[in-house]
Amino acid sequence: MIAFPPQIGHRGAAGLAPENTLAALRAAARAGAAMVEIDVRLSADGRPVLFHDDDLDRTSNGTGPVAALTRAALSMLDAGSWFAPAFAGEPIPTLEQALSLCLELGLAVNIELKPDEGREAETAQVALTVAAALWPATCPPPLVTSFSTEALQTARAVVPGWSRGLLVGAVPSDWQARTEELDCTVLVADQAELDRLVVGAITAAGMTLLVYTLNDRERMRMLWREGIAAICTDYPSSS
């Protein structure tokens, strides 16, 4: 079981640097984060890369689906200028590059699998095979999370010893059955949709509850008091 820090850097540190880039991982480490969350999907040629959206438009100078371009084509795009001129030329990193940097920086990792439709099992198989080959056995393994049941089922087969977390928006009424079916020890929910009674039921059942994405420090303190294990934030810190 992972010992979670109170804060997890969302997409690295999405409020401090362009999300899901090496710059965001470095920014998280400088801010004092102990753990970061990264989004992983596949390129056209089946390489795991860090990118949140299905399409390139919002956070790069590319257009169209990420899955339509090869890794080589993706590497030519600028994933930093949209955030600030200082990050011009920041590339879209591979999962290998991101995990290597996290190891160098001493950051624990939450790998969120974000498969395109029809590539759920493939995304988990490829990404986690890469991650398992790179991640040292002497370090606590990454947490693997996804909204996709199929991706989590594949994760259980590929890295059975790694903790898994089911991602949801509002906590569904059948959360316990769904997490038990997938052997998930973690539930990750939208903090804006939380109900205090539901939080109490989840924590009373012994399930680890993480939430996303929160930047208000007062609400963070309230949720920690209620038993939330960790909070994904765009502005991670050590306090």
Catalytic site positions: 10, 52
Phi and psi for 94 in degrees, rounded to 5? Answer: -80, 165
Whether residue 211 contacts residue 231, with contact meaning beta carbons closer than 8 Å, is answered with yes
Whether residue 235 contacts residue 32, with contact meaning beta carbons closer than 8 Å, is answered with no
